[in-house]
Amino acid sequence: MVAASAPLDRNSAYCNLLQCTDFAETCVVAERQGRVIGWVSAYRPPSAPDRIFVWQVAVDASARGEGLALRMLDALIARPAVAGATSLTTTITEGNAASWGLFGAFARRCNAELTKAPRFEREAHFGGAHDTEWEARIAPLPTH
C-alpha cells in the first residue's frame, strides 16, 4: 500500500511488521471486501505522551476521494490508546499538497489550529538528499 502511494517513503518489510505489532493500537487499517484500501501508522512518542504522531497515511487509488483518510484519522483519535493526547503531529514536505490538504481538513474538522515548523531540514539532516520535513501540529484534539 505504501509503495503504491507516492510520495510516501517506502519502509522495510521489517519496519511495517513492527508497526503492525508494536504499534497496532495506534495504527488503522481500512478494508473493503477483504482488501486493504487504507492505512494509517501512528504512535505515542515516549518523550511526549500528550501527542499522537502520524507517520504515514495511505489510501488505495480505488478509494481516493471518498473521505477515507479523514475517517481513519477520526478512528485513530477515538481509540483508547490515544486517550489523553492533546495534539496530533506529523511531518510533511512542503510540496506534498495532498497531505497538507488532508491535515488542514482534519484540523478544521476538529475545530483546532494547524501550525507548522521545520523539523528535519534538507541540508542539516538529509545532506541535501531529501526535502525539509515540516512538523504539522494540530491542537487541541477533541476529547472522547
Residue-wise pLDDT tens digits, 100-129:
999 999 999 999 999 999 998 989 988 998
Q: How far apart are CA 39 and CA 27, in angstroms?
A: 7
Residue ranges covered by each domain of the chain: 13-139
Which helix or strand (DSSP H or E) is residue 77 part of? helix 68-78
The reported pLDDT for the residue numbered 89 is 98
Q: Is the pTM of this model over 0.95?
A: no
Tell me: pLDDT of 28 over 70: yes
CB–CB of 56/2 below 8 Å?
yes
Q: What is the CATH number of domain 13-139?
A: 3.40.630.30
The number of beta carbons lying within 10 Å of the beta carbon of residue 143 is 9
C-alpha grid cell, residue 98: 495532498
3-state SS, 75-106, equals HHHHCHHHCCCCEEEEEEECCCHHHHHHHHHH
The number of beta carbons lying within 10 Å of the beta carbon of residue 69 is 25
Segment 25-42 mean pLDDT: 95
The reported pLDDT for the residue numbered 2 is 54
Q: How far apart are CA 9 and CA 34, in angstroms?
A: 25
Residue-wise pLDDT tens digits, 44-101:
999 999 999 999 899 999 999 999 999 999 999 999 999 999 999 999 999 999 999 9
The pLDDT-based confidence of 4 (bands split at 50, 70, 90) is: low
